[in-house]
Amino acid sequence: MVETPTKVVTSFPTHEVPTPSATFAYPTIPPTATRTPEPSSTPLPNILDGVGDVLFEDDFSFDRGWDLSQQERGAISLSNERLVIAIRKSQSFLYSLAPDLSLSDFFLEVDVRAELCQSGDEFGVVFRVNESLEHYRFSLNCRGETRLVRVLYGESRSLMLPSTFPFIRSGPMSTNRLSLKATGDTFQFWINGFEVFSGRDIRLVEGAVGLVVRSNQGNQATISFDNFILREVLHTGTPQVTGTSQENNDKKTSLPKSAQ
């Protein structure tokens, strides 16, 4: 049964999935006049409540220091004022990090367009990426499913299993706006202005943010990104995460006991 836009998940189910090999890389896309319909006009809660000044924004009209490179499996480039991640091999995982940013608490938004994709191809945002390339990944696939994954200690775990919602646009040339808020151990996620889930996890407390594409069985996947923006989160007396990264990693999360 299709979940309604008001459905919010407050605890994360768990599911073990294979860990993709961490690697960097990304080409040009042809201009297109194709437009995706605007989101529903249904009034939505203000997702900017509790959000402050802009920390960093990029319309990709020029190079501001993202990881742009080319390799055998794919490439990252700026094309037509968009950041483009293109994969040329199946089962490949490529991402580009925003320049010189390491954050704990923030609000992020970005437009994601599937230029070329097949049903299992995955694309979205990575955040709290550390030096070991451990991270959280908030993503969509070409079928229109969304999920949250945590990569930690060489293992990948779905904190939110793939889920569908009626307001997610699917298929090639579809555009969706991803939004997320990270505040301490608490996360909220929206797609096209609708909250899709929220929950808590304290394993990764700080790190870089970036954009990601993961191909499935197909040999080609091309995703472009635009209107990337990071804002500060306004704190209202809520206790913040303290201690070293190792101390925080040793604390329990809100996941079920079997998931820890």
pLDDT of 202-224, one tens digit each?
999 999 999 999 998 877 899 99
Amino acid at site 231: R
**Mean pLDDT computed over 122-127:** 97
**What is the reported pLDDT for 217?**
81
The average pLDDT across 143-166 equals 95
Query: Which pLDDT belongs to residue 48?
Result: 82
Sign of CA dihedral 121, 94, 48, 60: negative
| Secondary structure letter of residue 248 according to DSSP | H
pLDDT of residue 140: 96
Neighbouring C-beta atoms of residue 100, cutoff 10 Å: 9
CATH number for 15-28+45-254 (one of 3.40.50.2300, 3.40.50.300, 2.60.120.560, 2.30.110.10): it is 2.60.120.560
State the Cα–Cα distance between residues 145 and 119, nearest whole angstrom.
Answer: 10
Give me the pLDDT at residue 81, please. 97
Strand partners, 208: 129
pLDDT value at 78 more than 70: yes
Predicted confidence band of residue 49 (pLDDT cuts 50, 70, 90): confident
pLDDT at 47: 84
**Does residue 17 contact residue 93 with C-beta atoms inside 8 Å?**
no
Give the per-residue pLDDT at 104. 95
Mean pLDDT of the chain: 79
Whole-number percent of the chain with pLDDT over 90 = 62
Give the residue from 5, 8, 13 showing the smallest Cα distance to 149: 13
Report which of residues 24 and 82 the model is more confident about. Answer: 82
**pLDDT tens digits for 4-22?**
343 333 333 333 434 343 3
Asked whether residue 250 carries a pLDDT value surpassing 50, the answer given is no
Domain chopping of the chain, boundaries? 15-28+45-254
Number of helices (H), then strands (E), in the chain: 1, 16
For the segment 109-135, the average pLDDT, to the nearest whole number, is 95
102: confidence class by pLDDT, cuts 50, 70, 90: very high
45 confidence band (pLDDT: 50, 70, 90): low
In three-state secondary structure terms, 188 is: strand
